[in-house]
Amino acid sequence: MGIFDAINTASSGMSAQRLRTDVIADNMANANTTRTTEGGPFRRSRVVLRPRVEGPYWRSPFLPDMLDNGIGRGVRVAEIQKDNDETKAHFIYDPTHPDAIQSGPRQGYVEMPNVDIVTEMTDMIAATRAYEANAAVVDGTKTMFLRALDIGGRQ
């Protein structure tokens, strides 16, 4: 393990959580958007995170080889997915709305985005807490480095 690996791992988590927060903010901003450039109402997005594994990370003569699988590299954003789950779709009756359905059994209804503000706020709190936890790791690692330099400077 290198001297800055803990900071690099935590910073990857901070970057991922910042992007997750941006996506959540976009979802909340479009909670009432009934028309998009793709057509239809806005669909909520979600961030898919995966571990950053790029081959062997470190080898230790004291630990078994099962730990030699890239654990500790951090996290990466694999993709940002649109949530197209039709079971979350809901409609409101507003025949005067420009996006109201003009014919069929749902005539006069407007299809609304599948964004639930309570879910988005819960996700925002979780992303904020994860960001703060990673920032605490960076601070703790920095403090540990400074203490090591202080101990080494006393000789």
* Averaged pLDDT for residues 116-124: 96
- 150 pLDDT above the threshold of 50: yes
Q: Structure pTM? A: 0.81
Closest CA to 23 of 69, 107, 79, 85: 79
pLDDT recorded at residue 88: 80
- 47 pLDDT above the threshold of 70: yes
- 70 pLDDT above the threshold of 80: no
Q: How far apart are CA 34 and CA 14, in angstroms?
A: 32
* Averaged pLDDT for residues 39-53: 91
Distances (CA, A) of 79 to 16, 19, 71, 91, 97: 11, 11, 21, 29, 34
pLDDT recorded at residue 84: 85
- 131 pLDDT above the threshold of 90: yes
pLDDT recorded at residue 119: 95
Question: What's the pLDDT band for 72 if we cut at 50, 70, 90?
Answer: low
pLDDT recorded at residue 2: 64
pLDDT recorded at residue 87: 77
